[in-house]
Amino acid sequence: MLINILSSSFFARLDFTEDKRFTLSDATKKILKELKQPVTVTAYFSKDLPAELLKGRRDFKDILVEYSNRSKNRVVYEFINPSENDENEQKATQAGIQPRMVSVREKDQMKQQKVFIGAVVKVGEKSEIIPEILPGSSMEYSLSAAIKKLTTSEKPSIGLLQGNGEPSLAGISQAYSELDVLYNVEPVYLNDSTYSLNKYKTIALVNLKDTVRPKYLEQLERFLSEGGNLFVAINHVAIGGQGNMGVATNSIFLSWLAKKGIVVADNAVVDANCSYAGAQQQGYSVQFKFPFFPVITNFQKHPITAGLDAVVVQFASQVNFSGDSSRTFIPLAMTSEKSGTQPLPVYFDVNKDWGDNDFPLKSVVIAAAIVPKSGKGGKIVVVSNGSFAVNGESQQTNQQPRQLNAGNVNLMVNAIDWLSDDTGLIDLRTKGAKIRLLDQIDDGKKTFLKYLNFLLPILIIIGYGVYRFNRNRLIRMKRMEAYYV
């Protein structure tokens, strides 16, 4: 009774998970501590969820309990079952939560079931939608970012440079939707006479194709000297010939970067761990592994790369450091243990039989950051592939944007977060439950562990039963002895 009484007034949790998935971050605690008005979270979850989605409901409820306790009950929540009746379903859809179809097994048959697994966060008259809450997802980031967005009157500004062949905001729609939570992302057009960059924390230069005018470089130089930051995604490999050659681009901007200590080499990176490309052969469309499309899974431990699984780049180049000791060079993303570089120009032979000799290098850097040691001047993050986070071109607004790999979007958004954010929410974006697969052991050991997991509890129960039987038998025999008292 005493424990129950105390537990109603005090909240504590011991988190033994390796990734501390049940421990709120300092950024979240700060947001909750600074709440001035109530926050209402309405979670719309169907009741009869499949087991894999039911865990997401439990985890979300657990995190809401902790938010409520940490905020001294300023975070109020309720769960509504939209599948219970038409009125609840109408509430969910009007709030912006759309149902999704999932496959469930019932009476040895698979069927499609409509379920709701979203939430709406509301502060005053403003609201923010969390469309899907899945097990293992970054629930804390979604919830904290929504609260931060609703309770912040002014958001920092991020500029997306335009006028040099870059995509518009529509061209990076996936990254834009993520950045829009915490920032005002605006297009930036430079001119020779007016300097107006001091309102931005970070300027993003994504896939610029035309030559940047020297006057514009002077403005970027001033922006850096005043503490602004740059995110740069740029190609040094241009497609030439009839689409079967890679040639070096002659960019004034690349030369300007080299003066900062970041050199994008005259080569194209190849990797045995790569994605697929398509080509027409004898009238048929064929898919083949293309080493010029590396799948990057080797990341330096850093806030920008935390939680990233894979990033797919195309025609990237090696990034080297040529600066002095006044700057710190931080490699962020590297190729696998079997990789290499091809000097430019290079011919793309789709019929080439790639072997180990083509991949003599390892950990070739394709993304890096430069940080001034003195603290004066801005930071720069460079990715040697301009289109890795572009999912649509501004000139093709009538076409449906392609869906990018989540790692590509997170790399760009994390980088801009690291350059711009002072809330600490960057650590939460990719935070989630990690699934540890048994893919590093042979099939025989997998089978052994599977049967051991199933049989061991049964064997323990049988063993305990045998022990109890023999123990009771010995007691009975002892009691039957002539002089037993």
Termini Cα distance of the chain: 43
Residues in the chain: 485
Report the C-alpha gap between 18 and 444 in whole angstroms: 27
The single residue listed with the structure tokens 């590396």 is 294
Contact 238/247 with Cβ under 8 angstroms? yes
Residue 406 sits at the vertex; the CA angle it makes with 401 and 409, to the nearest 5 degrees, is: 70
Tokens linked to 481: 């002895």
Whole-number pLDDT of residue 400? 62
DSSP 161-184: EESSS---GGGGHHHHHHHTTT-E
Question: Which three-class secondary structure state does DSSP give residue 369?
Answer: strand
Report the C-alpha gap between 141 and 426 in whole angstroms: 8
- List, in sequence order, every residue forming a beta bridge with 373; answer none if it has no partner: none
Report the C-alpha gap between 300 and 330 in whole angstroms: 8
Q: In what order do the strands lie in the sheet with 184-189?
A: 184-189, 157-162, 200-206, 229-233, 380-383, 365-372, 327-334, 298-299
Report the C-alpha gap between 334 and 349 in whole angstroms: 24
Phi/psi of residue 128, nearest 5 degrees:
-135, 140
Whole-number pLDDT of residue 334? 97
Whole-number pLDDT of residue 108? 66
Whole-number pLDDT of residue 397? 47
pTM of the full structure: 0.75
Report the C-alpha gap between 70 and 178 in whole angstroms: 26
The single residue listed with the structure tokens 């609201």 is 127
Report the C-alpha gap between 282 and 100 in whole angstroms: 41
The single residue listed with the structure tokens 């293992």 is 136
Report the C-alpha gap between 286 and 226 in whole angstroms: 51
Whole-number pLDDT of residue 395? 42
Contact 381/304 with Cβ under 8 angstroms? yes
Phi/psi of residue 179, nearest 5 degrees:
-70, -30
What is the number of other CB atoms lying within 10 angstroms of the CB of residue 410? 26
The single residue listed with the structure tokens 């439990």 is 58
Residue 404 sits at the vertex; the CA angle it makes with 239 and 252, to the nearest 5 degrees, is: 40
Contact 388/315 with Cβ under 8 angstroms? no
Grouped pLDDT means (10 residues each) for the chain, 485 residues: 74 70 82 91 90 86 90 93 90 90 74 88 92 84 89 87 90 90 90 86 90 88 93 92 84 90 95 88 80 95 88 96 91 96 91 92 96 87 95 58 83 92 68 54 80 91 94 87 71
Tokens linked to 3: 């424990």
The count of C-alpha atoms lying within 13 angstroms of the C-alpha of 193, restricted to the half-sphere facing its C-beta, is 0
